[in-house]
Amino acid sequence: MTTDLPAAQRFYTAAMGWEVQDVSRPEMAYILFSASGVPACGLMDVPEPGIPPGFFGYVATDDVERTTEKARALGATIHKEPTDVPGVGSFAVLSDPQGAAFGLHQWSDAATAPGPALMSPGRMSWHEIMTTDWEAAFGFYGELFGWQKSDAIDMGPMGTYQLFTGPGGGDAVGGMFNKPPQIPQPFWLYYVAVPAIAPAVERIRAGGGQIINGPMEVPGGAWIVQGIDPQGAMFALVGMRP
């Protein structure tokens, strides 16, 4: 969600190498970004004044109404009840019990849904939540989606970084940890996979973006950076080499 759709489109196509498809409707401008022909994310104007620019993530479900009701029973706040988008699917907008916002999405045709994206260039490959109580957050998401704990990384004074997998186990797809006091609100951060971090950093800076953390090597040998685009949206990158 951005305050300057044309400028954000220019920035992300240059920085990430994303392909662009205009799928706007009469009531809303919408750009679909893809990587090697596979949908990666969308770009739209902020829906109303006062909402800051930022990325918003959706968890796929095969029944958005049932999952919304289960989330409500687990203590989630429902900001937008399940809504149909003709020809695309259904979605809902929620916050978990700690206050981090996320969405649910059900595809009209499950065959069109993008598959797993772990370290696939241009795709959202890591999903990280900074929260007030990661153990409670894991309890919520684990019960709602069947996510499972993977390794727990000791970050010293920063506490535990808990990796998680999807319902069937396997490779970790994200992590949870308690936010530092200076972060005012729990939130999800999404990492785009790139072939190499250093050239991506150069493209980000050339496009007017800022690097606020990194490059930094993380357990497993990957490198990450966190940045802010020219409109103020925070994003992150992950690559297997600097």
Specify the CATH number for the domain of residue 58: 3.10.180.10
Tell me the whole-structure pTM to 2 decimals. Answer: 0.92
Residue at 174 is within a domain? yes
Q: 102 and 134 in one domain?
A: no
Q: What is the pLDDT of residue 109?
A: 78
Q: 171 and 107 in one domain?
A: no
Q: 192 and 103 in one domain?
A: no
Once rounded to an integer, what is the mean pLDDT over residues 195-219?
Answer: 95
Q: What is the pLDDT of residue 48?
A: 83
Residue at 27 is within a domain? no
Q: 224 and 204 in one domain?
A: yes
Q: What is the pLDDT of residue 112?
A: 67
Measure Cα distances from 145 to 60, 61, 104, 171, 242 in Å. Answer: 9, 8, 11, 16, 33
Query: pLDDT band for position 75 (50/70/90)?
Result: very high
What does the pLDDT look like over 112-160, one tens digit per residue?
Answer: 676 666 778 899 999 999 999 999 999 999 999 999 999 999 999 999 9
Give the end of a domain, one of 73, 92, 113.
Answer: 113
Give the end of a domain, one of 77, 94, 113.
Answer: 113
Q: 132 and 106 in one domain?
A: no
Residue at 94 is within a domain? yes
First to last CA, the chain: 28
Once rounded to an integer, what is the mean pLDDT over residues 181-189?
Answer: 94
Residue-number span of the structural domain to which 191 is assigned: 123-240
Q: What is the pLDDT of residue 116?
A: 65
Q: 139 and 93 in one domain?
A: no
Contact 204, 227 (CB under 8 A): yes
Q: What is the pLDDT of residue 18?
A: 96
Q: 153 and 106 in one domain?
A: no
Task: Give the helix, strand, coil percentages of the chain, each rounded to 5.
Answer: 20, 45, 35
Residue at 211 is within a domain? yes
Residue at 74 is within a domain? yes
Give the end of a domain, one of 71, 86, 113.
Answer: 113
Contact 25, 43 (CB under 8 A): no
β-sheet bridge partners, residue 78: 94
Tell me how many domains the chain contains: 2
Residue at 43 is within a domain? no
- The residue assigned the tokens 């999404």 is 190
Q: What is the pLDDT of residue 51?
A: 86
